[in-house]
Amino acid sequence: MTGTTSSTTIHSTSSRMRRRAGLFALYVVCVLLAILFLFPVFWSTLTSVKPPAEASAVPPTYWPSTFTFDNYLKLNKYGAGILRYVYNSASVALITVFGTILLSTLAGYGFSRFHFPAKNVLFIMVLAALMIPFQSILTPLFLLMSAVKMQNTLFGLALVYITFQLPFGVFMMRNSFDAVPREIEEAALLDGCSTWKMLTTVMFVLVRPGIITVAIYAFLNAWNEFLAALIIMTQEVNFTLPIMLTSVRSGYYGAIDWGALQAGITVTILPCIILFLFLQRYYLQGLMGGAVKG
């Protein structure tokens, strides 16, 4: 008995050590991957606070001799100024977010709860839009926006972005509503809620992770999108931040102004990082919404 107990103890200790070693190796790999992904962000931010001469130095300096915000102040000298471009990008992104949430939520609820002819065929047609490269339809979109006098308008650009985001948003919201038991909806109606009140006060709360996931996707894509904005916007005062960064690249005699460029990149990525850090919990829940139906 003593030998058996000793052997069991040794085996248990060995198993714990293997699990700890495996967990340690996993942590090491995760830390290395985090450093790999975060290093470009760190380097851009560090370069943005270097003096202009050091930011463009070859070979590069790894640490600034002095910290300065001259590169950020220099951004106001390009075009209409950095604040105007931030306003343009923020306006387009917010309109895109609200429009995508409204249309995706209503469409997702309809596909999840109502039965109508050719529902599955229509849903497949919505998803099929994901397979069409949006670059292939930019020319017709440009002609359409010109015909309806919405070229060079922030609202017109937001409508284009909403169109690109709807297939994913509808798919996400349908899955989120499918994960909510119908009994909750029926109980709210029996308690005297109207259909609209039940949808806004009960269902929207339950599918909030899905709504936030759609909002994050819509914001990031609208904030960072370059090609559609470059084609539809032809007046400098209406440019968004990604287009502005192409002008910052050109310094004196065609040289790249690396300090100002990295400052512009830092300004561009900062809202995305803040938004994701605050909403990442809901984002992960939203991506798993509908995976297991209750």
State which H helix or E strand residue 132 sits in. Answer: none
**pLDDT at residue number 251:** 54
The mean pLDDT value for 287-293 works out to 52
Amino acid at 200: T
Whole-angstrom distance, CA of residue 77 vs CA of residue 73: 8
Residue 75 near residue 249, CB atoms below 8 Å: no
Determine the pLDDT at residue 294.
41
How far apart are the C-alpha atoms of 249 and 190, rounded to whole Å? Answer: 62
Spatial distance between the Cα atoms of 247 and 239, rounded to a whole number of angstroms: 11
Return the H-helix or E-strand segment holding 196. Answer: helix 195-198
Number of neighbouring beta carbons within 10 Å of residue 127: 14
Long-range contacts of 80-83 (CB under 8 A, 24+ apart): 80/236, 80/237, 80/239, 82/244, 82/264, 82/267
pLDDT class for 250, splitting at 50, 70, 90? low
Average pLDDT taken over every residue of the chain: 83
Which range of 8-12, 157-161, 275-279 scores highest in mean pLDDT? It is 157-161
Rounded Cα gap, residues 154 and 117, in angstroms: 37
pLDDT value of position 277 = 82
For 120-149, what is the mean pLDDT? 86
pLDDT for the residue 94: 95
CB of 26 within 8 A of CB of 19? no
Q: Which pLDDT value is given to residue 292?
A: 46
Full-model pTM: 0.82
Say which residues have a Cβ less than 8 Å from residue 273's Cβ, sequence separation at least 6. Answer: 41
pLDDT 10s digits, 225-247: 988 888 888 888 888 998 888 87
In this structure, whether the domain defined by 75-288 belongs to CATH 1.10.3720.10 is answered with yes
pLDDT > 90? residue 188: no
pLDDT over threshold 80, residue 275:
yes
Would you place residue 99 in the very low, low, confident or very high pLDDT band (cuts 50, 70, 90)? very high
For 193-234, what is each residue's pLDDT tens digit? 777 888 878 888 888 888 888 998 899 999 999 888 888 888
What are the boundaries of each domain within the chain? 2-48, 75-288
